[in-house]
Structure 1
């Protein structure tokens, strides 16, 4: 019991380490980047050289089209404007807008986003209210959570990078390019790897401090006895 008290006192005197501060700051910066990438419509865009492009731009959840028709000519309907990918009006061309590779991108980047939200909750617990004796476990849990999130993000950006501007998807593929929202998704994924690494390092440092402080307290108690 005494060792625990000594450990807590030492922890509050030391304050947060530079590694911990860097981990928290890098993670929250990464969160902002991923939120923007997740919610904006510039993963793929037309380059602007065509006078009347049928495809304008898209994000994970929105497509912007102009005078767009079903390429199989099953329907005479013309699609214009920006709409959510699951909008009822787009239902008849869902097979075109969401091929299997894009559904996989949506799935894995959504998993990345959700795990990031779990990481936000864990980081707030670490910063604001979590008891020090449990911080090592929390830091390790955060590190693993962000590693898995980064892995999901990696699958998403690699898949979209390889197939997003291919000839088999959006019209006028030679005039389409991977845009800034996709770039932010890539940066955010690397940011998750960085944050996870920093949390792993901090967990290792705190575990060593715990062992050293416990050993010192035990040694002191033995000598007093």
Structure 2
């Protein structure tokens, strides 16, 4: 691994550093429960809804008035727990399910690119290096597109009046912002990987042409 890093170009090394920041931002965004948050005010000092992530919802006395039994919810719990079945229709709005779906695709694509980067550094033959760099670049482009769709959907509807209670006090929080950082850096690293693949391909062509000329001169 270290041998490959020392032989790599400065562009590739810088790209790895940016990619690590993108990975870290996306992972924190995916698991942290602060995509949407309620801001306490004098009018609403203790909001029933506190914060929400892709997979966790946090409440402080929230209850569904339409249910025959008044069940109140406290603390942070996973959205898919059976306990939240009572308010499933309020939690799993179609736009929120779409956000989960597209950002999960983004996350899976990110893991796939991580595996390909490790493969490139540790065990890939020279013959396949250009192809693997291109695969990583294309994979990151697709992942970033899925992440962009998820962020646009949630940004447009996440703090709307039809989702969490007291929507006037709700705002898009820092996990959502980290998602933008991670996705933007995916675009950047995708372009840099494709540029690196192009540079390596040109070097290979130059070596092949130089080798061919050397052989011809040797025969003469």
TM-score by length of structure 2 reads 0.93
Residue segments in structure 1 that go unaligned for 5+ positions in a row: 1-11
Deviation at 1:71, TM superposition (A): 4.2
User: Residues 70-219 of structure 1 correspond to what in structure 2 (within 5 A)?
Assistant: 70-219=64-213
Show the counterpart of 1:40.
Answer: 32
Separation in 1, partners of 2:155, 2:92: 15
Instruction: Give the SS at the match of 1:56.
Output: strand
Give the CA deviation at 1:75.
Answer: 3.9
Query: Does 2:37 match 1:54?
Result: no
Please, what is the CA RMSD of the aligned residues?
1.3
CA–CA distance in structure 1, aligned partners of residues 208 and 88 of structure 2: 61
Q: Provide structure 2 residue ranges, at least 5 long, that are not aligned to the other structure.
A: none
SS in 2 for 1:169: coil
CA contact (8 A) 2:40 2:46 kept: no
Note if contact 1:22-1:198 (Cα within 8 Å) is conserved in structure 2.
Answer: no
C-alpha separation between the residues in 2 aligned to 1:167 and 1:80? 22
1:4 alignment counterpart: none
1:66-105 deviation digits (Å, cap 9, x = unpaired): 1111143444211111110001100121111010000000
Partners of 1:219 and 1:75 in 2: CA distance:
85
Q: Is the 8 A contact 2:67 2:86 kept in 1?
A: no
2:23 aligns with one of 16, 24, 31: 31
Q: Tell me how far apart the structure 1 counterparts of residues 25 and 51 of structure 2 sit (CA, whole Å).
A: 19
SS at match of 1:76: coil
Equivalenced residues, count: 213
- Judged with a 3 Å threshold, the aligned counterparts in structure 2 of structure 1 residues 223 and 102 are, in CA distance, closer, same or farther, namely same
Matched, 1:19 2:11: yes
- 2 CA distance for matches of 1:57 and 1:219? 67
Alpha-carbon distance in 2 for matches of 1:35, 1:160:
17
Deviations 1:8-39 (A, max 9, x none): xxxx8x82111111221111111011110011
